[in-house]
Structure 1
Amino acid sequence: MNSKALDDPSQRENLFHFKCFIKDSVRSLIIDSGSCANVASMALVEFLKLPTTKHSTPYKLQWLSECGELRVHQQVMIKFKIGMYQDEVLCDVVPIQDCHVLLGRPWQHDRSTKHDGRTNKYSLVLNDHKYVLHHMSLSQVNDVYQTMSESKEKKKCEEEHVEAESQEEEERRKDHVLQTNQSHSSLPNSISFILHDYEDVFPKKLPSGLPPLRIIENQIDFVPGSQLPNKTAYRSNLEDTKELQSQVEELLNKGYVKESISPCVVPVLLVPKKYGTWCTCVDC
């Protein structure tokens, strides 16, 4: 190796940046000896739908979060490839933005890596094979950050677009609610919105027929030795009988009720109360 490469000042203040393959997709990787944990980006985990596990010893971070203290409680196994070097590392899931994977002291300790500070190269032995990892040039690093920055900007624009569409849809919905609920002008807007959202539960005209049969039907078993009630029905005057018959026929036509085939039908009588309401009397 020539002296120019050994005296390359571009690596004096740089971390180790590289591209790796994770699930056949190119991702950015950083090796930082100052990090006390191996870290995977939350965006990477969500995008590749990687399975996570609960952290054995959850902890809190401050410097990685822009919105205050952050609790790290998930881990993910990252399988990556750099050239011929293939490995898998258990990483903490953190919303970092500078890279997709950061290998810290745990990885360096477990792999007994050696770092050449002047050339910024890492060497290690895994499964009786020796590997030397070479860093990317500054132009390549800048290209990676440029790509990540454009990707973030595109994602931000898409999120803002979706949010704007959601706000427009919400405004249209509110306008529609206000227009369709003019008859309920005395009600607060919050109540009108709820009535609009659940207008299918309170239709102006009830549909005919009963709900479909459920998988589980309730059943009441007889007490052993009990006898079926067998009493004559109450008598009512002609006017009440006609009204009751009219209501029963209407319910039958709409399919809300049906004739019972049970051997223990209980007679039912509607009795008018003092203020014009009706009371249901059951002979049991």
Structure 2
Amino acid sequence: MASNRMVDKLGLDNTPHLKPYAFHWLDDGNKVKFTKQVKLALTMGTYTDQVLCDVVPMDACHVLLGHPWQFDRNVIHRVQSNEYELIDKGKKLVPKPMEPSVVRSMGTTQGKAASMTMFASEQEVGEVIKEGGCVYLMVVKEVPSVGVKNAQLTALLREFEDVFPEDLPAGLPPIRGIEHQIDLIPGASLPNKAAYRCNPTETN
């Protein structure tokens, strides 16, 4: 599968799909129709190939090599080393995965709505399988933040850096000349009154 955003930005020529079909997202229940295909040039180290991909709107990645490509190349996934072994022109190839630092440097700043999720319940997965749909699973690894990148926020913190001490004081603040406190009458009972009545709208 290929992202429609990538296809549009690169100006790739797409062709009508020979056998259009619907794709079912598990997170929101919406269906996406596959109506276009695009041929992509693929390079992994010394391995070069051309792959015919279905064009679909997706934010997880730009290109997703699925089961058909793995079947045609007799791909084997080595889980412990996170390597893929494939057969190309009768030769066995093992492209090396990129280092985590390289992957982080290639990350984009594209935002995503907080409500969107790719998680699905066991019942949802079971219903899709019973209907004969395709189920794709993805493993996501969280990348820790590398610091503040907002130029305006950085400039603001630099302007008021004297307000933020490097070392926090030990204990409570010292006694001041004026203390904001409530003087209680010794022996007096604490007030115990009902709360002000509000309508449900005001309460919420």
Larger Rg over CA atoms? 1
- More helix by proportion, 1 or 2? 1
- TM-score normalised per structure 2: 0.49
